Chains A and B, each alone.
Chain A
Amino acid sequence: MTETSKFHYIGKPLPRKEDRRLVTGHGRYLDDIIVPGALHACFVRSPHAHARILGISAEVAREMTGVVGVFTGTDLARWTNKLRLAPPIEGLHPTEIETMPTDKVRFHGDPVAIVVARDRYIAEDAAECVAVDYDVLPPVTSIDTAFAPDAALVDDSLPSNLVSHQTFSAGDVDARRKEAHAVVEASFYQHRQTHVPMETRGCAVLWDPGREHLTIHIGNQVPHPLRSQLAGRLNLSESQVTVMSPDVGGGFGQKIALYREELAIAALARHLKRPVRWREDRAENLMSASHARENLCRTRASVTENGRILGLELELAEDFGAYCFYPANYMSRVVAMIVTGPYRIQDYAFEMKVALTNKCGNGPMRAPMAITSWVMDGTIDAIARQLDLDPLEVRRINMLRPADLPYRMATGEVLEDITPSETLESAVNAIDYEAFRKRQRALRDQGRYVGLGLCTVVESTTYGSAFYKSAGIPGSGHEAAWVRIEPSGTVNASVGLGGTGQGYETALSQTVAEGLGVDPSEVKILTGNTDVAPYGMGSRGARGGTAGGGALFLCARKARGQVLQIAANKLGLNTSDDMRLLDGQVERLINGEWTATGLTLADVARNAYLDPTSLPEGITPGLDFSLTYDPPPMTYSNSTHACEVEVDVRTGALTILRYLVSEDCGTVINPVVVRGQQQGAIAMGLSGALLEEVIYDETGQNLTATFADYMVATACELPNFEILHHHTPNSRTPAGIKGMAEGGVMGAIGAVTNAVNDALAPFGTVADRQPLSPQYLRSLLRDRGAAARQNEQE
């Protein structure tokens, strides 16, 4: 905590400003916004995974009382442009997506028609009456079938289902393999999941025919990029579109892209000249919004006798689903770039393949690179198993030491201001590793199987423009902010982020307060309205704190500079050196003591707005500041997760006995908010690793369209989390902020699986896929029946 003590407002555990409205039911989420006269839309969706659309007959639906119209992909093709994704990335095929399919559907749940009606009940009734004639095609439902030589094409415009293929090599992995004491292979399959924000997607769109202006209410993480997309696809200028994102009931990466449904509703509002709204139901959300993960990694490590990794090879394949709303290499690429994480590995090669299949399209989900740390620390455990070494020692011998930093990874990424060995040591200390091993042996003798899993995470948090450039992705990592001190001295500030529950109104007010020198209660943060906020890149990854908080902090500092100049002038001083603003009071350093001047921010504001002729020379009226800020190429946070589990070998049931994290995310803006983010991220990781799974059968039918089938962890499946904190500030960002929010997912996935494998070690079996369901664990043990029986007898 000493690192943050130089701050007055950053680092304070302030309870959140937004809570009052949310706990009393007065939040305003999308569906709470009343739009008089709004029509309701309902989508007709494909029951097939892959089929040609032969015809759509909507006469019956159109005749129904209350139905305003039924529209198809052909209508939308007239009013909107396709999404073309063709970034100049080597090994990536350009793709194009229609607003709604006109020729064929590509997954179970693909939209084929929209019914617009007076209310939602009627729209749903009518949607059932729309008859679509399909010619069913063979479905592609796995990575293997996608790459089979006779595979059906998911996207007819591509030569094959291999939409992206990239390779990389640094050092000489072949030579390392030859000189190695052993070559250890391991594999990791992460199943398909989906984001499940508790508030589903949706939008309400108004078209003003007089002003020719479109207003869309939509819960979204990136309001400005969304506006650019929407305007472009509708042939409108960016000044003809306003995006308003209200309170949002969670996003986790699902509310970034402009989805086809939302674009269709916008086009219809303009076409019909009437407000149209859509609220996704849960089945649609689980089947058709966006999926994530489903990737398979194989590693091959060349190691010395004592487990030192000489070279690492990674093969990575991802099942991307049917449509590319993001460049198909995007998520896998980050995994491949940072997989070596906290370990010293210079000889490294990867090959990554991304497949199109007849499933809902993939998108980034909280920790798009979620599998990374499991792959790396799981590989370490595989080395320890094969060479009969202590997994902790194998970590230690390979881990970056403080003297290695800054460290240029084999991929060229530079790690600095991180502390992996510190978090590892403090985690194993807190767990008491030796005592655990003793307990484990004693319990095994009683036929009980407990295990300890470790996972050290290096989390890429904030992506600067330079990172995008080096990854060949057009785009910016900057963020924009404005700060306005109003005539009364109260402060409004804005930034281009789009919050979905992160507590921005509180934490960001602390960054402004710090930069300016006022109490956070005096600062109001306005986000989510593109007419109010400056054009920023929005909320994704863990950039909110570093990019957004950083931009606001710097902008508030700029404001403070001018405030102090005006104050100096009012006090008859010719310099504002040795002056500061604290709690809205102007102070001077006199004989080494900060002394009140009697002047307040309100006095200065009055001067700036109401008596501008008395301002010092060169200072213009008002107190209105803005700037943009581009973070360093990449910032990293780090942590070590330690998880103790017990596996009931008779039932396969898994119990988490203890969960501990030692983390370092640099300067913390608000520890209450940060702790909440960390708990939430671990919970999401465990929920995914233990329970959740999107299941498609071999015909491509989605079998998990309700919460009874797609299981999200409840309070009974999750433990309490113990968190230990380190605070090593980033030396390149304002206030040393690094960001966090995704590392918890990465660590949880790895720690819990490593723990299970530690527990199952006596059976000589390894869990190399998730979810770690009782059925799966039992199946591993069943194959090892003899070993199990023998062990029970011993």
Chain B
Amino acid sequence: MSEARLISLTVNGETRETLVEPRRLLSDVLREDFALTGTHVGCEHGVCGACTVLIDEKPARACLTYAIQMEGHEITTIEAVSDAGLSPLQRALHEEHGLQCGFCTPGIVMTFEAFLRDTPDPGEEEVRDVLSGNLCRCTGYQNIVSAVMKAAAEMREAAGD
């Protein structure tokens, strides 16, 4: 096990320093060192998607990433999404009842915040395809899919205005 090193990470636009062992996972550093506990850990082996954050605006698994690799990259977590009130996607999840226990929800929000930016007019198939990277044990996915479709429509409308 090698020595801890002082690294600086840019998280939600803020640069913070922390002392980490090279093997420390990004998910643990976010949750434990920075108290950003909205990033959840559901499997720690890259399947469930609960730990999804954005690295340089692209969705990535925080549980498969070492914090030490993240110097020079921009990390965005769920806590930054609602800076200006609920995002259209968060609002749609609420309105469409797209969450029950909510444990999977931050990972789903992060996945689709990025997706909808790149794909403003997705089809339902495509949404299901992308959503297959996030496990949800409560909802059966149907309402999450309708929430994403609704958010997309709303965002298109807002962009058109």
- Whether both chains belong to one complex is answered with yes
A interface list, Cβ under 8 A from B: 15-16, 18-20, 22-29, 31-32, 34, 120-121, 125, 196-200, 247-250, 252, 281-282, 500-503, 672-673, 675-677, 679-680, 682-684, 706-708, 712, 714-716, 718, 720-721
- Distance between Cα atoms of A463 and B143 in the complex (Å): 30
Partner of B94, one of A23, A32, A716: A23
Q: Is B101 an interface residue (CB 8 A)?
A: yes
* Residues on B with beta carbons closer than 8 Å to the beta carbon of A247: 101-102
Q: Is B35 an interface residue (CB 8 A)?
A: yes
Quick one: given A23-B93, A282-B45, A680-B140, are A29 and B109 in contact (CB under 8 Å)?
no
- Distance between Cα atoms of A20 and B78 in the complex (Å): 13
Contact in complex: B37, A23 (CB < 8 Å): no
* Residues on A with beta carbons closer than 8 Å to the beta carbon of B94: 15-16, 19-20, 23
Contact in complex: B139, A676 (CB < 8 Å): yes
* Residues on B with beta carbons closer than 8 Å to the beta carbon of A720: 142, 145
The chain A residue sitting closest to B81, CB to CB, is A24
The chain A residue sitting closest to B94, CB to CB, is A19
Contact in complex: A22, B23 (CB < 8 Å): no
Can you add 20 more A-B contacts, CB < 8 Å, to A26-B79, A250-B103?
A24-B38, A24-B79, A25-B77, A25-B79, A197-B103, A198-B136, A199-B40, A199-B101, A199-B103, A673-B97, A676-B97, A680-B138, A683-B139, A708-B47, A714-B134, A715-B127, A715-B132, A715-B134, A715-B144, A720-B145
Contact in complex: A715, B137 (CB < 8 Å): no
Quick one: given A197-B101, A199-B42, A281-B44, are A25 and B138 in contact (CB under 8 Å)?
no
* Residues on A with beta carbons closer than 8 Å to the beta carbon of B135: 198, 707, 712, 714
Q: Is B15 an interface residue (CB 8 A)?
A: no
Quick one: given A23-B94, A24-B78, are A712 and B137 in contact (CB under 8 Å)?
yes
Binary interface encoding of chain B residues 117-152 relative to chain A, with 1 for a CB under 8 A from any of its CBs, else 0: 000000000011101111111111111110000000
Partner of A503, one of B36, B100, B144: B100
- Distance between Cα atoms of A608 and B40 in the complex (Å): 46
Measured between C-beta atoms, what is the minimum distance from A751 to chain B in Å? 15
Interface centre among A23, A31, A248 (most CB of B within 10 A): A23
Partner of B140, one of A25, A32, A718: A718
Contact in complex: A249, B102 (CB < 8 Å): yes
* Residues on B with beta carbons closer than 8 Å to the beta carbon of A22: 99, 102, 105
Contact in complex: B97, A198 (CB < 8 Å): no
The chain A residue sitting closest to B147, CB to CB, is A23
Partner of B137, one of A29, A125, A198, A679: A198
Measured between C-beta atoms, what is the minimum distance from A137 to chain B in Å? 31
Q: Is B6 an interface residue (CB 8 A)?
A: no
Q: How many residues of B contact A (CB 8 A)?
A: 58
- Distance between Cα atoms of A25 and B144 in the complex (Å): 17
Q: Is B9 an interface residue (CB 8 A)?
A: no
Partner of A23, one of B23, B99, B140, B143: B99
Partner of A19, one of B47, B93, B139: B93
Quick one: given A282-B42, A679-B143, are A23 and B101 in contact (CB under 8 Å)?
no
Q: Is B58 an interface residue (CB 8 A)?
A: no
Quick one: given A24-B81, A25-B79, are A249 and B103 in contact (CB under 8 Å)?
yes
Ranked nearest first, the 5 interchain pairs of A and B with the lowest CB-CB distance are A25-B38, A501-B101, A683-B140, A249-B103, A22-B102
- Distance between Cα atoms of A236 and B143 in the complex (Å): 45
Contact in complex: B90, A249 (CB < 8 Å): no
* Residues on B with beta carbons closer than 8 Å to the beta carbon of A682: 140
* Residues on B with beta carbons closer than 8 Å to the beta carbon of A706: 43, 45, 47
Contact in complex: B105, A23 (CB < 8 Å): yes
- Distance between Cα atoms of A27 and B42 in the complex (Å): 15
- Distance between Cα atoms of A20 and B95 in the complex (Å): 11
Contact in complex: A31, B132 (CB < 8 Å): no
- Show 23 A/B contacts (Cβ-Cβ < 8 Å), sorted by A: A16-B94, A18-B102, A22-B105, A23-B82, A23-B102, A23-B106, A24-B82, A25-B77, A125-B1, A198-B48, A198-B50, A247-B101, A249-B101, A249-B104, A250-B137, A252-B137, A282-B48, A501-B102, A501-B103, A676-B138, A682-B140, A714-B134, A715-B134
- Distance between Cα atoms of A435 and B137 in the complex (Å): 35
- Distance between Cα atoms of A680 and B145 in the complex (Å): 14
* Residues on B with beta carbons closer than 8 Å to the beta carbon of A721: 140, 142
* Residues on A with beta carbons closer than 8 Å to the beta carbon of B38: 24-27
* Residues on B with beta carbons closer than 8 Å to the beta carbon of A200: 42
- Distance between Cα atoms of A488 and B135 in the complex (Å): 44
Q: Is B21 an interface residue (CB 8 A)?
A: yes
Contact in complex: A707, B43 (CB < 8 Å): yes
- Distance between Cα atoms of A706 and B79 in the complex (Å): 29
Measured between C-beta atoms, what is the minimum distance from B68 to chain A in Å? 14
Partner of B139, one of A27, A125, A248, A679: A679
Interface centre among B42, B45, B93, B106 (most CB of A within 10 A): B42
The chain B residue sitting closest to A686, CB to CB, is B140
Q: Is B67 an interface residue (CB 8 A)?
A: no
Quick one: given A19-B93, A24-B81, A34-B35, are A197 and B137 in contact (CB under 8 Å)?
yes
The chain B residue sitting closest to A252, CB to CB, is B137
- Distance between Cα atoms of A250 and B40 in the complex (Å): 13
Contact in complex: A714, B86 (CB < 8 Å): no
Contact in complex: B100, A676 (CB < 8 Å): yes
Measured between C-beta atoms, what is the minimum distance from B142 to chain A in Å? 5
Interface centre among A20, A250, A721 (most CB of B within 10 A): A250
Quick one: given A19-B99, A714-B132, are A249 and B86 in contact (CB under 8 Å)?
no
* Residues on B with beta carbons closer than 8 Å to the beta carbon of A677: 100
* Residues on A with beta carbons closer than 8 Å to the beta carbon of B143: 676, 679
* Residues on B with beta carbons closer than 8 Å to the beta carbon of A502: 100
Which residues between 39 and 84 of chain B lie within 8 Å of chain A, taking CB atoms? Answer: 39-45, 47-48, 50, 77-79, 81-82
Measured between C-beta atoms, what is the minimum distance from A714 to chain B in Å? 4
Contact in complex: B48, A707 (CB < 8 Å): yes
Contact in complex: B93, A198 (CB < 8 Å): no
Contact in complex: B138, A250 (CB < 8 Å): yes
Contact in complex: A250, B99 (CB < 8 Å): no
* Residues on A with beta carbons closer than 8 Å to the beta carbon of B133: 714
* Residues on A with beta carbons closer than 8 Å to the beta carbon of B127: 715
